[in-house]
Every structure is written in structure tokens, then in C-alpha cells.
Amino acid sequence: MIVINARFLTQELRGVQRFAEQTCLALKRQRDDLVFVTPPGVRMHETARLLDAQVVGTRTGHLWEQLDLPRYLRSQGNPLLLSLCATAPLFYGNQIATHHDITYVRHPQSYTWQFRTAYRLMTPLLLKRLKTLITVSQFSKREIGEFYNFAAQKILVVPNAVGEEFQPGEPLQAGGPRYLLAVSSPSAHKNFSRMIQAFLQLKGFDQVELRIVGGGGAVFSDPDLEALAKRDARVRFLGRLSDAELIEQYQGAAAFVFPSLYEGFGIPPLEAQACGCPVLAANAASIPEVLQSSALYFDPLDVEHISRAMALALNSLTIRQHLRTLGLQNVARFSWDASARLISDRIDSVQVRRPRGATLNQPSSGKEHS
């Protein structure tokens, strides 16, 4: 039996939770020796049903992960644990865990001091006990390995992917909806301020909107971001959208803009490409690794450069069509099933033969999620 830490089922669905959810669903299709365990308070009910997730313990949040989950694992004979979200039990040795990036180190202004301090303290403790660390790009593998002095051979790169529901809309035509789209939380490293400034500098595109999807409790490094956006009614914050609403926005956009200064991977550009949307992206961090030659790149620190990229895409249907074609080819390189197979193979390679006569109990300390 391999136990999967499914605490993500109790959390809001964001990029990290999306990785955990989709990887777990793919692993469930590939293996029959997995037990998914979660704290009380499940929010992702359909996913919990598909995973046949078991509620164990009585605590929630970090206390569940550090106290209830290890107690449950001990009761089962200390099986291999797989944690696919951002946290894991700090003192459990038989486990594989995930760390997406070290944005909290490179761009600390994006996070509260409590968050930064917690991760800086917890991560070294966790790394000491892991059989394997999963991360999402070669870029993050280098960053994590170098900063924490963690052995490269113990880091497994497992890329993100895009769900099958993200599909192209109608082929691009001249005219039609005229808006640029951005999708993310407005954290400091997402670089929304320069993106908005670049949009406001555009000349001759008075009917074009900049639509921004996302939100949350991010810390703003630029206190004037909201005021900057209010300078022009064409800058529209749409808030959080359902997947169906988001897909519609991707399909109708003239181009998708991804100005981030730092990403461990970055799912939104792939979602845009899967929907047939041309991508304009920062030439920073992991982004060129993920998008390769399928995007129109700009310097994310150069407002003029961002603005020129926007204008070039808006002015040329030929460029947009070319980027659409390249994007569809690029996103086809990724799949959740392929990523899950990488993890499944690593699970098999780290499994240790149990002593003769050792047994594992079936889950008994919790109840089946319903």
C-alpha cells in the first residue's frame, strides 16, 4: 500500500492543488495499491469521490499533517507516503514529497513574513528525510538543489500539464473580440504593474481591453496597482472564474500575456495554448523551458518591450496564427498521465522490501468520504 497525502482536497483549487489533483487522478488510473487520505472538511467533493478518499483523524490543516497523518501512518506499518502539494509531515522518513519552487526566497515581497519564515524553517527539515523530492521543471530543480544543497539525483522533475477540457475555439480571424488576457494572482513577482503600464502605453488600440483573471490574498509590493488599473476603464479585473468561464476567455482573446518574473513552471500559458490562444511571455525563470519557441518573448523588466510585444501581436493576424499553431504543438508535449508515470516509476524504485511477516492494516482510523 502506498498512502497519498490528499490534504489538497480541503483547499482552494490553485496551481499547486491542480498539480496534486490531476496527478492523483492519473495515478489512480495507473495503480491499484494507493490509499488517499484527507483531513475532515473536504471541499473538492467530486475529486474525493473519484479517488475514494478516506477521512482520517480529527484535526485540520498543518496540525493534521504533522500529527494525525503520521499517527495514521504508524498504525499502518509506516508505508511509503506521497505528498504532492506544498507541504508534508516534517519528521516522517518513508516519503516522497513535492516542492514547486523557491519564489518565497527569490521574491519575498510576494508573501507575508510568517509564510516566508515557515517555509524557510520547514523545508530543510523535510528535505533531510525524503527518499525523493518532486519538482516541476529543470529550472526549479537547479534552484532548489543549489539553495538547499540538496542532491540533484534525489530530485525528480515532473512537469505540469493541462486538462482535456481546455480545447481550441474557432480559428483566429481578423476582427472579432479584441482583448488581451492575463491569468494569475496579483503577487509582486507576477509583474502586473509593468504589464498594465505597458498596456496603457499602447497607441491606436482604443477598443482593446486588458482582462485580468484571478485574485486572492496576495501581498501587493506596489500599493498603487489598483490605482494604476483605474486610470483606464479598459483594464478589467474579472476575479476568479470557473474552468468553463476561463476557457471561454482563453478562446476569445487576441493574445495571452504572461509577464511573471519568477515561475517554477506556470500552468496558465499552457492552458492558453491548449485553447488556441497566442502567448506573449517573459523570458525569465522556467518560462522559456516550458514554452520553448512557441511564445513571443519580452523582457519583463522593460515596459516598452512588453508594450511592443502587445502591439505586434495585435497588429498582425499572421503572427497570432503562427503563435497559435506553435502553441498547440507545444502543449501536446505535456500530459498528466505521462507525469504520473514518472512518479509511479519512482515509487517502484524506492519501495523497500518489508521484513518477512510484516503486515499492513487496512484503513480503520477514519471513514470513507461521502
In sequence order, what DSSP letters do the residues of 241-258 get, joined into one string?
--HHHHHHHHHH-SEEEE
Average pLDDT over residues 124-130: 96
Cα–Cα distance between 220 and 218 in angstroms, integer? 6
Residues 178-220 have pLDDT tens digits of: 999 999 888 999 999 999 999 999 999 999 999 999 875 444 4
| Cell numbers describing residue 46 | 467530486
Split at pLDDT 50, 70, 90, the class of 37 is very high
Q: Which domains does the chain have, with CATH numbers?
A: 2-161+335-352 (3.40.50.2000), 179-332 (3.40.50.2000)
Q: Which of 224, 194, 187, 17 is nearest to 108 (CA)?
A: 187
One-letter amino acid of 243: D
Q: Is the pLDDT of residue 12 over 80?
A: yes
Q: What is the Rg, in whole angstroms, of the alpha carbon atoms belonging to the chain?
A: 22
- The per-residue pLDDT for 223 is 57
Cα–Cα distance between 17 and 118 in angstroms, integer? 19
| Nearest 10 degrees: Cα torsion 1, 64, 25, 21 | -150
Q: Which of 65, 1, 4 is nearest to 33 (CA)?
A: 1
pTM: 0.91
Cα–Cα distance between 324 and 166 in angstroms, integer? 14
Cβ–Cβ < 8 Å for 77, 361: yes
Q: Is the pLDDT of residue 253 over 70?
A: yes
- The per-residue pLDDT for 355 is 44
Q: Which residue has the higher pLDDT, 86 or 278?
A: 278
* 44-48, 203-207, 327-331: segment of lowest average pLDDT: 203-207
Cα–Cα distance between 304 and 228 in angstroms, integer? 17
Q: How far is CA 150 from CA 86, 131, 343, in A?
A: 17, 12, 19
